[in-house]
Amino acid sequence: MSDKPNVLIVDDEEGVLAMYKIKLEMEGFSVFTALDGQTALEMISKNKPDVILLDIIMPKLNGFDILKILKSDKETANIPVFLLTNLPQESGGEKGKELGAAGYLVKADYEPAVLAGMIKEVIKRPAS
């Protein structure tokens, strides 16, 4: 097992996955990806990521559904989940907070390097 922090990126756009994966690996993270919510849940149970970046609009299960499932399971409830989406904050920010998201990030507003810094900060924080 690697001592690098594990990050799971869940997005149905392969180009988005590739871009974030490359940048986060350059920043020292071990990154794995999923193209849909069902695959993401399977990977989470196997790999126990330190942080999850989760798109909202996806096939099979959307990001809000996955977030509800994760936060209701004591095995995964403490994994920080950032909703990483193209939906404006007004569309889902409040719902994301209510469901326990660590943050709501609009893709166009956050370069991958900024996102990497945010992940590092969350991983450094002691679990509450």
Q: What predicted TM-score, i.e. pTM, was given to this entire model?
A: 0.90
> In whole angstroms, how far apart are CA 95 and each of 22, 67, 81, 89?
30, 10, 13, 10
Identify the residue whose tokens are 């126990």.
48
What is the per-residue pLDDT across 46-94, written as a single tens digit (0 to 9) for each? Answer: 989 999 999 999 888 999 999 999 999 999 999 999 998 887 666 777 8
Buried b (16+ CB within 10 A) or exposed e, 42-80: ebbeeeebbbbbbbbebeebbbbebbeebbeeeebeebb
The pLDDT confidence band at residue 128, using thresholds 50, 70 and 90, is very low
Kindly indicate the confidence band of residue 95, based on its pLDDT and cuts at 50, 70 and 90: confident
CATH of domain 1-35+42-58+74-87: 3.40.50.2300
CA Rg value for the chain = 13
Q: Are 115 and 53 in contact (CB under 8 A)?
A: yes
For the chain, domain boundaries:
1-35+42-58+74-87
> Running DSSP on this structure, what letter comes out for residue 105?
E
Q: Is 21 exposed, middle or buried (0-12, 13-18, 19+ CB in 10 A)?
A: middle
Look at residue 13 and give its three-state secondary structure.
Answer: coil
| pLDDT of residue 24 exceeding 90 | yes
